[in-house]
Amino acid sequence: MKTGIIQQSLSGFYDVIADEKIYRTRARGNFRQRKIKPVVGDHVEFSAENQQEGYLLKILPRRNQLVRPPVANVDMAVVVTSAKEPAFSANLLDRQLIALEAQDVTPLIYFSKTDLLTDEEYQQLLPTIEGYRKIGYQVYAAREPFDADQLASLMEELKGNIVTMMGQTGAGKSTLLNHLAPQLKLATGEISQALQRGRHTTRKVSLLDVNGALIADTPGFSSYETFDMTVNDLPLLFPEMAKISADCKFRGCLHIKEPQCAVKEAVNNGIIMKSRYDDYLQFHELIANQKPNYKK
């Protein structure tokens, strides 16, 4: 019996990294019977006579698991965020950030396509960039999106970690990976003018060994609707709100209608970004109106 990490999932086969080799495996029938689905990043026990034929025996406990993209045991996530074509969406960025916060994954925000902005548009984006930095997020937003120093800084940050690239379709995830590791030569797609969405150029999830980091290049998405948390958990997933919520008059304050709320006061004083607070209110409403998901 061996232990390893699932590197790729494709058509019922799972490629597992172990002993600096890759073993092709299949899941035992009892996985399906117990409705257990292995995902990329899983630490597994498996048996293999050779590298072409093996069987998954057990999935070891997961530290975390993302739904979109479906990856387990993630240390960091690079949220590739388009500045233009498709247009920047703070709401979409915040949806991804709270999903990562909920799973204790460290987010890194990487603005792509900043070179498509006019100087005036770039200047208008800078306060938003600084706003996320003040929250405590690492933000990469050079005027040239693939600036050599910026890429070197990002790569140094990622070394030794399991990382996922995430972002909407057409944001430039594969393009960024190609700059980090040109030998990969990943396919990239253009934007559909009709929908302002890119073509899905990545159709499977796989971990790529990039200069000492295992990076998952994952399919993009055109919308992000994952809210697997309660309304009481939501304020904790906005670090800038969680930091000052102890100053609210009422314990368990949800920062909506309660009087003497430190968060609302911080929004009014420009300490908390209004766009973030508006997204918080929207997410709160969406979660409150979700139908319960009863697991069988």
CA distance 11 to 242: 42
Q: Is 103 annotated as a binding residue?
A: no
Q: Is 47 annotated as a binding residue?
A: no
Q: Is 174 annotated as a binding residue?
A: yes
Contact 111, 144 (CB under 8 A): no
Q: Is 43 annotated as a binding residue?
A: no
Q: Is 257 annotated as a binding residue?
A: no
Q: Is 114 annotated as a binding residue?
A: yes
Q: Is 169 annotated as a binding residue?
A: yes
Q: Is 48 annotated as a binding residue?
A: no
Running DSSP on this structure, what letter comes out for residue 157? H
Q: Is 261 annotated as a binding residue?
A: yes
DSSP 224-262: -----S-TTTGGGGSHHHHHHGGGSSSTT--SSS-SS-H
Q: Is 136 annotated as a binding residue?
A: no
Which residues lie below 8 Å from residue 267, measured CB to CB, with a gap of 6+? 274, 277
Residue with tokens 């919308």: 223
Q: Is 248 annotated as a binding residue?
A: yes
Q: Is 170 annotated as a binding residue?
A: yes
Q: Is 168 annotated as a binding residue?
A: yes
CB burial readout 181-219, b (16+ within 10 A) else e: beeeebebbebeeeeebbeebbeebbbbebeebbbbbbb
Q: Is 249 annotated as a binding residue?
A: no
At position 172, the amino acid (one-letter code) is G
List binding-site positions for Zn(2+). Answer: 248, 253, 255, 261
List binding-site positions. Answer: 112-115, 167-175, 248, 253, 255, 261
List binding-site positions for GTP. Answer: 112-115, 167-175
